[in-house]
Amino acid sequence: MHRRSAFERFLANIAATFFFDPHRAIGHVHTHHLHFDTEQDSDTPLRGEKFYEFIWRATKGAYLDTFELEKRRMAVKDKSVWGPSSIVFWGIVAVFGTPLVIGLYAGWLAGVIALSAMVTTKLLLEALNYLQHYGLQRDTSQPIEDRHTWHHFSTMSRIAGLEITNHIDHHRDGFLPFYALKVHKGAPEMPSVFICAPAAFIPWVWDNLIVKPRLKKWDLECASPEEQALARKANLRAGWPDWIGESQAATAQHSKAAV
């Protein structure tokens, strides 16, 4: 979906049909890659947002992004977003036509199974962003740095994810092939995907054993002052401890005592 060739993007649309989102590239490229780690991006999980809440919000956001962008494109041409010139129209045909054709060929049960597999795969795909962007904050006036995505550097994570777990280079240049994504040691790191994925299904484990300790370290050691301000608001909104405020108060008290 990131390739420059129209034919390659067409093949990506066909493949994406089987996870119930044939035009995933539109929202992903034109929204997520522009606004990741901000509240404008539905693919960036909010602090305190549970896995089950996020996958539905991200799914809805992906569809709405595609719809709004295509609606604007069709308006320029003075055409309806629901008409046959619109990719929204053909997306609906593709996602419902696929299980329908399978059902007509192999029976209604096969059609239901195909539809269920497509929907389930869509939800699981959205879960990938839960592991790679959870809770991070980005000041969009600053350059994209290593700190702006989570990374999973374990060997099996890299193999299973086709190096996408070396995630920041993908955001610096979406055209890079997977084998050109580099390991940036020292970048914010999560445990293995094979630990994080099951942990995400158990909110207490995910919050207290996985993300809170790492986000506290990120806030205090990695974030810019502007991002610390955003992170502090996010922590308070999530009902988390105000470790940024506590650190700033301790620093101010230490400075005062030194004077």
Say if CB 30 and CB 131 are below 8 A apart: no
Structural domain range at position 82? 1-134
How many structural domains are present in the chain? Answer: 2
The residue among 134, 157, 180 that closes a domain is 134
Query: For 30-55, what is the mean pLDDT?
Result: 87
Is pLDDT larger for residue 75 or for residue 259?
A: 75
Residues 57 and 78 in one domain: yes
What confidence tens digit (pLDDT) does each residue in 161-204 have?
677 777 888 888 878 778 887 877 788 888 888 888 889 889 99
Query: Which whole-number Å values give the CA distances from 119 to 16, 109, 178, 179, in the listed order?
Result: 11, 15, 26, 29
What percentage of the chain reaches a pLDDT higher than 70?
Answer: 97
Residues 165 and 91 in one domain: no
Closest by CA position to 187, among listed 242, 136, 130:
136
**Residue 8 domain-assigned (yes or no):** yes
**Residue 255 domain-assigned (yes or no):** no
Would the pLDDT of 112 be above 90?
yes
Is pLDDT larger for residue 63 or for residue 174?
A: 63
Residues 3 and 84 in one domain: yes
The angle subtended at Cα 31 by Cα 152 and Cα 170, nearest 5°, is: 30
Amino acid at 146: D
Residues 113 and 34 in one domain: yes
Residues 121 and 141 in one domain: no
Query: For 204-229, what is the mean pLDDT?
Result: 92
The residue among 112, 134, 156 that closes a domain is 134
Would the pLDDT of 39 be above 90?
no
The residue among 83, 104, 134 that closes a domain is 134
